[in-house]
Amino acid sequence: MSLIAETAIVRQVGAETIISPTATGRLLLDSSDTGGALSTVRMTLAEGADGAVPHHHATSTELFYVLKGKARILSGEEIVTLAAGDVAAVPPLTPHAFAAAPGHTADLLIVVAPGIQRFDYFRLLDRLRRGEATLEELLAAQDVYDNHFLDSPAWTRDRQAS
């Protein structure tokens, strides 16, 4: 695994921000910024909003730290609710997803280690949301961004109940 060769700093004012009607993503450090050690994003979700559909990463652990509010996290077949100050780490190859808990907003710091070069993936998702990209483009890119989409009946049931 690579180590950070020099201090990587991103100021809030300089962070690229992607905004949708239900979420704001602040792209903080991509894998290339940290010598492959990690990548990190801050996601702020509106009340009950989805953050990511079920997926897994082949080689990276994804850590979710709740800064404010409450979040629902799928890890394997288990769905847990995390509150401000709680943290969950999902190991490689484990299906996972996240959303704001019903009736709550969620502000999360998300860290992937080792890092995955993912900022272009988030930009692709934003283009898809605006109708400027296709689902086929997103599916074709899943190997590039190590984001393998999965089916999760437990997550589908949980989100429908919200």
pLDDT for the residue 121: 87
pLDDT-based confidence at residue 3 (cuts at 50, 70, 90): low
pLDDT for the residue 36: 92
Mean pLDDT of the chain: 91
Say whether pLDDT at 154 is over 90. Answer: no
- The span from the CA of 53 to the CA of 122, in Å, is 13
pLDDT-based confidence at residue 99 (cuts at 50, 70, 90): very high
pLDDT for the residue 4: 63
Rounded average pLDDT over 86-90: 98
Residue 30 has phi, psi (to 5 degrees) of: -95, 165
Rounded average pLDDT over 48-66: 93
Say whether pLDDT at 144 is over 80. Answer: no
pLDDT for the residue 131: 94
pLDDT for the residue 139: 82
pLDDT for the residue 149: 74
Nearest of 100, 94, 96, 92 to residue 51 by alpha carbon: 100
Could you tell me the CA-to-CA distances from 149 to 10, 45, 85, 104, 141 in Å, in that order? 29, 20, 28, 26, 11
Query: Where is average pLDDT lowest: 17-21, 81-85, 117-121?
Result: 117-121
- The span from the CA of 153 to the CA of 90, in Å, is 18
Quote the CATH superfamily of domain 12-161.
Jelly Rolls (2.60.120.10)
The better pLDDT of the pair 4, 48 is held by 48
